[in-house]
Amino acid sequence: MTLSSDPQAKTSAPIQAYAAPDKSTPLEPHQITRRAVGPHDIQIEILYSGVCHSDVHQARSEWGPSIYPLVPGHEIVGRITEVGQQVSAFKVGDLAGVGVMVDSCQHCDACEGGEEQYCENSFTPTYNGYERGSKEPTHGGYSTQIVVNDKFVVSIPDNLDLKGVAPLLCAGITTYSPLRHWKIGSGHKVAVVGLGGLGHMGIKFARALGAEVTVFTTSQSKVEDAKRLGAHQVVISSDREAMKTVRNAFDFILSTVPTSHDLAPYLKTLRRGGQLVIVGALEPVGLNGGQLVSHRRSVAGSNIGGVAETQEMLNFCAEHNIVADVEMIDMQDINTAYERMLKNDVKYRFVIDMASLKS
Amino acid sequence: MTLSSDPQAKTSAPIQAYAAPDKSTPLEPHQITRRAVGPHDIQIEILYSGVCHSDVHQARSEWGPSIYPLVPGHEIVGRITEVGQQVSAFKVGDLAGVGVMVDSCQHCDACEGGEEQYCENSFTPTYNGYERGSKEPTHGGYSTQIVVNDKFVVSIPDNLDLKGVAPLLCAGITTYSPLRHWKIGSGHKVAVVGLGGLGHMGIKFARALGAEVTVFTTSQSKVEDAKRLGAHQVVISSDREAMKTVRNAFDFILSTVPTSHDLAPYLKTLRRGGQLVIVGALEPVGLNGGQLVSHRRSVAGSNIGGVAETQEMLNFCAEHNIVADVEMIDMQDINTAYERMLKNDVKYRFVIDMASLKS
């Protein structure tokens, strides 16, 4: 075990990363620096890094100007190579995961309630942000290493396929958290809108929680796969007659559609008091007040999950043998992977084998 | 007490009503017929009838084609003049009220759960609908009499000013029900958007329930009145600086705006997990998914309230001495009242003294 000799050490080491140097050029290899391992820090050698839709948005500055050079990646699985002096819950050699957050204020109501994702002073994103109280940019998982505050590191159960674990850190927790928050379980009728990285995890979790699961998709070609993933029923959302058969049918709908969409066709399928939760679309969505009023329906949003809840989700996955369905790529294939992802041409998440970055 | 001699009697009597004969002409006096009093029916001599925004929409066929001649009015207070043989909870001479519904299927989950307003087989509206299983149109409160199934009649506490009670049957219950459903009480910060017929009741109820109440209005002229009605704070929603002072401030927002509006400025003022409830706008509203996701906020709708809940609301009003602030009019002034209501020129509800219809 290597401990940092000086807890205040601010020395840093250059490491290899795949970064977008500016928004006009694709990702390419870079030398970036990592901060030294402080007393509460953990250094992880990254084994696998999932590719999230938000990576491409930020690599291309589509969510406002990004901080370049930008190292994307917030679905990180690896092995601990160093721990700070004050770290007691982890040791060198442990498997560890890092998701969308690497820090938060840790003293607001949200943080104290274990919901760091809603930190009132804004959580520190794993990449495209700045280290807390510093002008040092954070860098994500398309890299050989990461150094993270131990409060934002989770343990990876050892019975799961690590490649499929990486996407759990964002796609997994993003769909697990709302299902748990709204107490979905046996006896509930749940629909999942969209069958992509998030949607396929939503199916698995809703099914494992005991719900009766329906998938809404526009693709006839996805019907069989949705059933293989656990759906009891698949409805082609562009088929108006099929949609009529599920009027007022569901207690809960998880919309994983990552872009602006009209909620109207789905709201019609929610029963009295039913809840639709948006986890993908961060933009305007079509909503008619009358559809809510007539059946006391609700539309909410949900953002990833807290650190403790992420650990709970991983333990749930270990118990139910749940991982993401992934397609492995080398780091050098990332630009092609982005293009394919934008066409929904992936079943259901790209995961980068970070060994490819060292070769 | 006059009992109907034959429970199956289908005879009916002509009565005086103020009706819109067709959508191109204003309201004018009409002779319409009321059904005979059946064994479970109650006949009420109407004393006061509130004027709801929905009356003008339907008088003018603005919510799809209305059924003419149309007798609007679903905020009805009067005195019982006849009860059917099977009626035990009411007697001739009692004060009674009728709201937005006069019947429902009474056997679906919603009805059995006391939420007839969400009847899965659609409740029977007090006007602009058809009697259950019949082609006989229902006629509302702009009239001398009404005959209603006893399950849809509520008792009026005798300590309240009857004129101000009429609007409780729609504006009152519409704002009371969501506050109760979402368990608003002491310690909650509540905002009411819009200060009209519904909004002014929302202030009174939220205050009486123990909440800290803020009113959003666009009219500087309404500030003092909002405070008189019970608001602790008034924010001019067009003042961007003022809006910034209430970022993430509220647990619950009641939007009483009766038309399409953008929810964005109000959602920003909801705290983590906060709830905005629409009770007025039955049309498209502006919504951005990101505003929900970032703080796990919800937007829901709520429709009037059930019959038992309406009785509970009236009892609550009796206990807290709550009635609507009203402006009395004669039946003959209805067309002018509609025009003034459309300009928000009423504090805060017109109520028709039905004696004027007999004179």
Which pLDDT does position A22 carry in this prediction? 85
User: Omega before B348 cis (within 30°)?
Assistant: yes
Do B272 and A118 count as a contact with CB atoms less than 8 A apart? yes
Q: For domain A12-169+306-315+324-358, give the CATH number.
A: 3.90.180.10
pLDDT at B343 over 70: yes
How many helices (H) and strands (E) chain B has is answered by 12, 18
pLDDT in tens, A211-262: 999 999 998 999 999 999 999 999 999 999 999 999 999 999 999 998 899 9
Determine contact: B109 vs chain A, CB below 8 A: yes
Do B297 and A301 count as a contact with CB atoms less than 8 A apart? yes
Which pLDDT does position B114 carry in this prediction? 97
pLDDT at B10 over 70: no
Do A301 and B278 count as a contact with CB atoms less than 8 A apart? no
Mean pLDDT of chain A: 94
Which pLDDT does position B21 carry in this prediction? 87
Q: How many C-beta atoms surround the C-beta of residue A311 within 10 A?
A: 18
Determine contact: A229 vs chain B, CB below 8 A: no
Q: Answer yes or no: same fold for B12-170+325-358 and B171-301.
A: no
- Tell me the pLDDT band of B11, cut-offs 50, 70 and 90: low
> Which residues lie across from B298 on neighbouring strands?
A300, B275
- Structure-token match 């398309």, residue found: A142
CA distance B187 to B254: 16
CA distances from A56 to A70, A331, B19, B247 (A): 11, 14, 61, 31
Burial class from Cβ neighbours inside 10 Å (0-12, 13-18, 19+) for residue A218 reads: middle
Determine contact: A101 vs chain B, CB below 8 A: no
- Structure-token match 């397609």, residue found: A327
pLDDT in tens, B74-121: 999 999 999 999 999 999 999 999 999 999 999 999 999 999 999 999
Q: Once rounded to an integer, what is the mean pLDDT over residues B170-188? A: 98
Do A285 and B289 count as a contact with CB atoms less than 8 A apart? yes
% residues pLDDT > 90 (chain A):
87
Mutate to test the interface with B, among A296, A303, A309 (most CBs of B within 10 A): A296
Mutate to test the interface with B, among A104, A252, A293 (most CBs of B within 10 A): A293
**Cβ pairs A/B, distance under 8 A:** 115
Do A289 and B282 count as a contact with CB atoms less than 8 A apart? yes
Q: What angle do CA B42, B47, B49 make, to 5 degrees?
A: 95
Mutate to test the interface with B, among A272, A285, A291, A309 (most CBs of B within 10 A): A272
Which of A283, A295, A296 lies closest to B289 in CB terms?
Answer: A283
pLDDT in tens, B199-229: 999 999 999 999 999 999 998 999 999 999 9
pLDDT at B57 over 80: yes
CA distance A18 to A20: 7
Do B297 and A297 count as a contact with CB atoms less than 8 A apart? no
- Structure-token match 């800290």, residue found: B212
Query: Which of B177, B1, B145, B176 shows the shortest CA–CA distance to B76?
Result: B145
Mutate to test the interface with A, among B288, B291, B309 (most CBs of A within 10 A): B288
From A216's Cα to the closest Cα of chain B, the distance in A is: 19
Determine contact: A282 vs chain B, CB below 8 A: yes
Residue spans per domain, chain A: 12-169+306-315+324-358, 171-301
pLDDT at B283 over 90: no
Q: Which chain B residue lies closest to A249 (C-alpha atoms)?
A: B120
Do B282 and A303 count as a contact with CB atoms less than 8 A apart? no
Q: What angle do CA B314, B315, B319 make, to 5 degrees?
A: 115
A122 CB neighbours in chain B (<8 A) are none
- The residue among A33 and B330 whose pLDDT is bigger is B330
Do B284 and A282 count as a contact with CB atoms less than 8 A apart? no
B118 CB neighbours in chain A (<8 A) are 272, 294-296
Do A298 and B295 count as a contact with CB atoms less than 8 A apart? no
Which pLDDT does position B332 carry in this prediction? 95
pLDDT at A12 over 80: no
Mean pLDDT of chain B: 94
- The residue among B23 and A62 whose pLDDT is bigger is A62
Mutate to test the interface with A, among B261, B287, B291, B297 (most CBs of A within 10 A): B287
Determine contact: B294 vs chain A, CB below 8 A: yes
Query: Which of A79, A74, A78, A76 shows the shortest CA–CA distance to A124?
Result: A74
pLDDT at A2 over 80: no
Residue spans of alpha helices (H) in chain A:
53-59, 109-112, 162-165, 171-181, 197-208, 223-229, 240-244, 264-267, 289-293, 307-320, 334-342, 355-358
A281 CB neighbours in chain B (<8 A) are 289-290
Q: Once rounded to an integer, what is the mean pLDDT over residues A303-331? A: 98
Do B287 and A299 count as a contact with CB atoms less than 8 A apart? yes
Residue spans of alpha helices (H) in chain B:
53-59, 109-112, 162-165, 171-181, 197-208, 223-229, 240-244, 264-267, 289-293, 307-320, 334-342, 355-358
pLDDT at A9 over 80: no
pLDDT in tens, B117-158: 999 999 999 999 999 989 999 999 999 999 999 999 999 999
Query: Which class would CATH give B12-170+325-358?
Result: alpha beta
What was the ipTM of the complex prediction? 0.93
Structure-block tokens of residue B278: 């629409």
Burial class from Cβ neighbours inside 10 Å (0-12, 13-18, 19+) for residue A84 reads: buried
Architecture of domain A171-301: 3-Layer(aba) Sandwich (3.40)
C-beta of residue B288 within 8 angstroms of C-beta of residue B97: no
Q: Once rounded to an integer, what is the mean pLDDT over residues B308-332? A: 98
Determine contact: B105 vs chain A, CB below 8 A: no
Which pLDDT does position A11 carry in this prediction? 60
Which of A281, A290, A297 lies closest to B283 in CB terms?
Answer: A290
Determine contact: B262 vs chain A, CB below 8 A: no
Do A299 and B299 count as a contact with CB atoms less than 8 A apart? yes
Structure-block tokens of residue A169: 């850190």
Do B290 and A301 count as a contact with CB atoms less than 8 A apart? yes
B280 CB neighbours in chain A (<8 A) are 289
Residues 164-183 of B with CB under 8 A from A: 181
Element (H, E) at A273: strand A270-278
pLDDT in tens, B224-277: 999 999 999 999 999 999 999 999 999 999 999 988 999 999 999 999 999 999
Query: Which of A99, A45, A54, A55 shows the shortest CA–CA distance to A76?
Result: A99
Residues 187-206 of A with CB under 8 A from B: none
Question: Maximum distance among all alpha carbons in chain A?
Answer: 68
pLDDT in tens, B23-51: 778 898 888 888 899 999 999 999 999 99
% residues pLDDT > 70 (chain B):
97
